[in-house]
Structure 1
Amino acid sequence: MISAQTWADAQRLWDFQQMGHDPRPCSVAIGLGSHDLGVAETAADLYHQGMMPLVVFTGATSRTTQERMPRGEAEHYRERAMELGVPAEAILVEPRARNTGENIRFSRALLEEHRIPVSSILLVSKPYEERRAYATARKLWPEVEWVSTSTPMTLTAYVDSIGDARLVIDMLTGAQQRLMIYPQQGFMMEQSVPEGVTTAYERLRDAGFTSRLVANPADGNDNTTAH
């Protein structure tokens, strides 16, 4: 059973991850690979709204996705977006990235290879990683303007869509840990974390929601995505 305190702490982390950016027209979008096809669906919706002329889907596979997305996260995203009416010529696929840092670096290289001018980017991620994705992107590609967005949904709705409350809380805890430790390792920009968010994270960590934590932060983990 998930206690009321645990739900409250998870909600606090969920709310902190939401950047509150209003999507607006940008040069391109980058959809970050994961287990969640909702990223591709949101990118497709933004395309149909005229928010960007091109989307890059980026991602190889992880231990979470290797069976359900055997052709790679980016390729499965491409297929889903095309099912939703995004034309093939409006999609680029970056199939190698295995963490958020690589998502950004490899997508940048791909766009440069195609000589696509970029001044602003819609960054589409999972709802519980908006802030983490934004902090990584700003650190690695500061020359462009970033707008961070995700599928609009509540924590309860997201848990229902995944079907595993403990896994979602584990992922929230892991995302928060990275926001707190990765700036010192150069993986993302520093952000102010409210005391209440830190307290909520510590309670969840101490309650055993640890499966997505970086085991040895001092070892210089390479920003592995908390799928």
Structure 2
Amino acid sequence: MMLETDISQLSKNPTDDQIKDAQLIWDYHQMHHELRSVDVGIGLGSHDLGVATFAAQLYRQGLFPTLVFTGANSRTTAARFPRGEAVHYREHAITLGVPDSDVLVEPQATNTGQNIVLTRELLAGQAGPVESVLLISKPYMERRAFATCQKMWPEVEVICASEPIAFADYLESIGDPGLVVDMLVGDLQRVIEYPALGFAVEQDVPDDVRIAYERLIEAGYISRLMT
């Protein structure tokens, strides 16, 4: 099992060049899929409540009739979402106008593979086949979510989406640019390494993105790397 590096470090203040490298990786993580109607929307749990906000918006736009939130807790979300990511996401979506009856919860998943597999199992007990899904995630998690779903649920058509926010605005909203860069680097490592472990399908990584990734690792953005 691969674990995040346990490292104590001060929050970094990225240089302008490091922000440019991080922007390259941010752009790569996003799939730029054209949104359309699907059978089910799936909100992937995380620290980012914006996922639930955007999922509710897409539901209200009529892109899917059923919304599933999936996710238990991680060490970074336990304090914020003590009853579990999916439960809090569901409650938030209902306050934004999504009917209670149209929101399902998968509360056990602790990683992206489980998000997909356990949601697939949950939906298998519902009426009607699922042929297409819209995965809603953090902006820098789209590509990993796509690659994971292609591996774990290959028979379904998958479209990815995230809150439409510019990288600079996302950095400001989180309030810790160094942490965001760490997370971008960690997600890219998973995109690169998970296929060999059987967790995801292979994704082409452009040379400039790999070089930016390596530079950021050398600069010490490693707190979200796996060992």
Alpha-carbon distance between aligned partners in 1 of 2:172 and 2:149, rounded to the nearest angstrom? 29
Deviation at 1:51, TM superposition (A): 0.0
> What SS class does the counterpart of residue 135 from structure 2 fall into?
strand
**Is 1:60–2:59 an aligned residue pair?**
no
The one-letter code matched in structure 1 to 2:197 is: Q
The structure 1 segments of at least 4 consecutive aligned residues displaced by more than 3 Å after TM superposition are none
Deviation at 1:23, TM superposition (A): 1.2
Deviation at 1:105, TM superposition (A): 0.3
The one-letter code matched in structure 2 to 1:118 is: V
Q: Deviations over 1:104-135 (max 9, x none)?
A: 00000000022442010000000011101100
Could you say which residue in structure 1 is the equivalent of 2:102?
A: 90
Match of 2:145 among 104, 108, 133: 133
Could you say which residue in structure 1 is the equivalent of 2:182?
A: 170
> What SS class does the counterpart of residue 75 from structure 1 fall into?
helix
Q: Deviations over 1:148-198 (max 9, x none)?
A: 000001111111111110110000000000111111111000011100000
> What SS class does the counterpart of residue 137 from structure 1 fall into?
helix
Identical-pair percentage: 56
Q: Deviations over 1:87-106 (max 9, x none)?
A: 01100000000000000000
Would you say how many aligned residue pairs link Structure 1 and Structure 2? 215
TM-score under structure 1 normalisation? 0.93
Could you say which residue in structure 2 is the equivalent of 1:28?
A: 40
Could you say which residue in structure 2 is the equivalent of 1:225?
A: none
The one-letter code matched in structure 2 to 1:170 is: D
Q: Deviations over 1:202-226 (max 9, x none)?
A: 00111100010012xxxxxxxxxxx
Correspondences of 1:98-177 after superposition (within 5 Å): 98-177=110-189
Alpha-carbon distance between aligned partners in 2 of 1:184 and 1:150, rounded to the nearest angstrom? 26
**Is 1:81–2:93 an aligned residue pair?**
yes
> What SS class does the counterpart of residue 45 from structure 1 fall into?
helix
The one-letter code matched in structure 1 to 2:121 is: A
RMSD of equivalent CA atoms: 0.7
> What SS class does the counterpart of residue 31 from structure 1 fall into?
strand
Deviation at 1:4, TM superposition (A): 1.4
Structure 1 gaps, min length 5: 216-227
Alpha-carbon distance between aligned partners in 1 of 2:129 and 2:61, rounded to the nearest angstrom? 21
Structure 2 gaps, min length 5: 1-12
Alpha-carbon distance between aligned partners in 2 of 1:116 and 1:197, rounded to the nearest angstrom? 41
Deviation at 1:10, TM superposition (A): 0.2
Could you say which residue in structure 1 is the equivalent of 2:216?
A: 204
